[in-house]
Structure 1
Amino acid sequence: MTDPGWPRIGVDIGGTKIAVGLVHRDGGVTDRRVRATPAAAGADRVLATVIDLVRELAPAAACVGIGAPGAVDVRTGTVRFATDLLPGWAGTPVGGTVESATGLRTLVDNDVNVLALGELRRGAAIGNDAVLYVSVGTGVGGALALGGRIVRGARGVTGELGHLSVAGPVSARRCGCGRTGHLEAVASGPAIEAAYGAPGPDLREIARRAHAGEARAGAVITGAAVALGRTLGGLVSALDPRALVLGGGVSGIGPLFTDPLADALRAEVLPPLRTIPVLTAGLGLDAPLVGAALLPEDLADPVRGRDPVSAVPGPDDAVDEPGGNHNSCRAKRI
């Protein structure tokens, strides 16, 4: 028996690889495909690779959801702002280009937002309507869900946790934005590697040494975890989420990282907040694909039938273009 609106194609555009897969209603992923991201070749080539992969799965799919780096205008599927992870990525009309080339309705959001959405609806955070999701890997990113929906803010940049200033001694290492003292320059994977010493081992080797009992490796990991936990404590105090979910490669170190993080967080907050669950993301490699496939439900406003990112009508609201009507997952209108 067919399942109307499913399966859907989930797409994860990363700095080194692009992954796609058919996502089913229960969160299962089949027909996963992966290709290297041709980042140096520019945005057009990256999109061409995405389109090739989507076309391979298109006959079986109802629509496409994409998680992309940078701040995304979810109404149009265009990248508003991006770092140099993908050269020339800012301003790229991801949604419109993929939809025009494939004939499938295509929705696009920030990559960390879709990770959070996957965990919220199909992963570790099921049953929690207010969740702070934190991804710690090459960088530090976050997403906030309130009322069971992702909050994107007035400009689509909610969750840029990596650019929060860290209390205490300021790291001399520069953040990707060019400034020092930011969380990303203290608690990310590259920050841990730099703190251990260069030239030195990569994050995986540092974690192995820490698990083997090496004091130096353990101290570096603990230092990053405590800095992150103290900073997140301020956010938890301000937002009062039901749960905190940790994802990303650094969180994968396990209790050597997550335990001191949770202890530092709980030491910062008021007593009523000290019982907040600190959860580890559960979807693994499927998370970005599952979350991207769930964008139609998250972006559909049941009252207005439009994107809830802003209550103020935008210049594109009356235009029938990709991203303009989110409560459908069907073929592109001709």
Structure 2
Amino acid sequence: MTVTLGVDLGGTKIAAGLVTPGGVVTRQRSAPTPAAEGPEAILQTIVDLATSLTASAPGVVIAGCGIGAAGVIDPVSRTVQFATSSLPGWAGTRLGAEIERRLGMPVATVNDVHAHAIGEAVHGAGRGERTVLVIAAGTGIGGALVIDGVLQAGRHGAAGHYGHVPATEAAGLSCTCGGTGHLEVIASGPAILQAYLRRGGTEPGDTREIFARADAGDALAAEVIGVAATALGRSIGGSINSVDPDLVIVGGGLAAAGSRWWNTVESQARAEAMGLLAGCRIVPTSLGANSAIVGAASLINTAAPALPNTASLTP
């Protein structure tokens, strides 16, 4: 059997798996992201996970390693161009070249949300469709456009920052990117929490508690969730008008928050879409937590010369 290593590198966890050409994860390992220890520790953690996986599958042929990583990744140099403060020193890391040297196999790199989108478009809810728009709503708002299985990453590999488009509901609110009035500061999970507190709500444990309070009859909680879902839905509707996709896949932590959020997002997206496009399918993800691993792995051309699994990788 020929498989590919897929790696999902986030700010808190690194997950890796062996993925078949059909997008099935056969073995998986994970470890906390040693963000505070710097880029070298992160690179070594990837190598350690890869070593563990290959050792667990003797005789399996490894075609290469695909990595979906936090940050803006240059598509040619495979270097991290930009990263937030959650990964200190990560910007400037030669991710692709370093992992390729240490593993001794072909390595492809992409942003982690982009990997998530590729996984869903190629092997998940968008399988068989030509134009797939993926939106991830959770701690942030991101996504990607995938056409004929190919990610549309943009000139700098930074396409898909859907959280940084203007939103009327966010007018005057400062964004982490340095701008103001962006979708992410009204529609993300942390934004819902901040809006609830800003409007006088008592301190909840986290955003999930706000949803629980809304279900229990808290009118303020229901209102801030409604505003967030409306803003996101209207933005998705605008994107449908711009792209005319075969379908929109919505994932991320908020997508699992229940019908209150989902129904508002969907109805507002359809209300914003032009009449001809109002019937565009809007569906949840199907691969769950494995989507970025599967998407990253699919970056490797399994028709290329593969490497025998010797379970011995270059340190």
The verdict on a shared fold, with TM-score over 0.5 as the criterion, is yes
Task: Give percent identity, aligned residues only.
Answer: 42
* Deviation, structure 1 residue 23: 1.1
Distance 1:329 1:189 in 2: 43
Distance 1:90 1:76 in 2: 13
* Deviation, structure 1 residue 78: 1.2
Partner SS for 1:120:
helix
Once the two structures are superposed, the pairs formed by residues 103-252 of structure 1 within 5 Å of their partners are 103-168=104-169, 170=171, 172=173, 174-197=174-197, 199-252=203-256
- Please provide the CA RMSD for this pair: 1.9
Distance 2:155 2:241 in 1: 22
Residue 193 of structure 2 aligns with an amino acid whose one-letter code is E
Distance 1:212 1:149 in 2: 44
Distance 2:280 2:207 in 1: 28
**Alignment-derived partner of residue 44 in structure 1:** 40
Aligned in 2, Cα 1:169/1:162: closer, same or farther, shift over 3 Å? closer
Distance 1:264 1:273 in 2: 13
**Alignment-derived partner of residue 330 in structure 1:** 306
Partner SS for 1:74:
coil
* Deviation, structure 1 residue 210: 2.7
Q: What is the aligned residue count?
A: 299
Q: Does the 8 A contact of 1:120 with 1:148 survive in 2? A: yes
**Alignment-derived partner of residue 86 in structure 2:** 85
Q: Does the 8 A contact of 1:131 with 1:241 survive in 2? A: yes
**Alignment-derived partner of residue 23 in structure 1:** 19
Aligned in 2, Cα 1:178/1:327: closer, same or farther, shift over 3 Å? farther
Aligned in 2, Cα 1:246/1:171: closer, same or farther, shift over 3 Å? farther
Distance 2:217 2:130 in 1: 39
- What are the Cα deviations for residues 94-153 of structure 1, in whole angstroms up to 9, with x where unaligned? 111111111121111011111111111111111211011000111111100123311011
* Deviation, structure 1 residue 329: 5.8
Aligned in 2, Cα 1:76/1:330: closer, same or farther, shift over 3 Å? farther
* Deviation, structure 1 residue 74: 2.4
Partner SS for 1:231:
helix
Partner SS for 1:7:
strand
**Alignment-derived partner of residue 50 in structure 2:** 54
> Comparing 230-239 with 181-190, which one deviates more in the overlay?
230-239
Residue 159 of structure 1 aligns with an amino acid whose one-letter code is G
Aligned in 2, Cα 1:329/1:178: closer, same or farther, shift over 3 Å? farther
Q: Does the 8 A contact of 2:75 with 2:156 survive in 1? A: no
> Comparing 156-165 with 192-201, which one deviates more in the overlay?
192-201
Q: Does the 8 A contact of 1:171 with 1:185 survive in 2? A: no
Partner SS for 1:89:
coil
Q: Does the 8 A contact of 1:11 with 1:19 survive in 2? A: yes
Structure 1 length-normalised TM: 0.84
> Comparing 201-210 with 267-276, which one deviates more in the overlay?
201-210
Q: Does the 8 A contact of 1:83 with 1:177 survive in 2? A: no
Partner SS for 2:27:
strand
1:67 correspondence with 2:68: yes
List runs of 5+ in structure 1 lacking aligned partners.
298-325
* Deviation, structure 1 residue 47: 1.0
Of 260, 273, 276, the match for 2:277:
273
Partner SS for 2:262:
helix
* Deviation, structure 1 residue 175: 2.1
Aligned in 2, Cα 1:280/1:171: closer, same or farther, shift over 3 Å? farther
Q: Does the 8 A contact of 2:4 with 2:300 survive in 1? A: no
Residue 9 of structure 2 aligns with an amino acid whose one-letter code is I
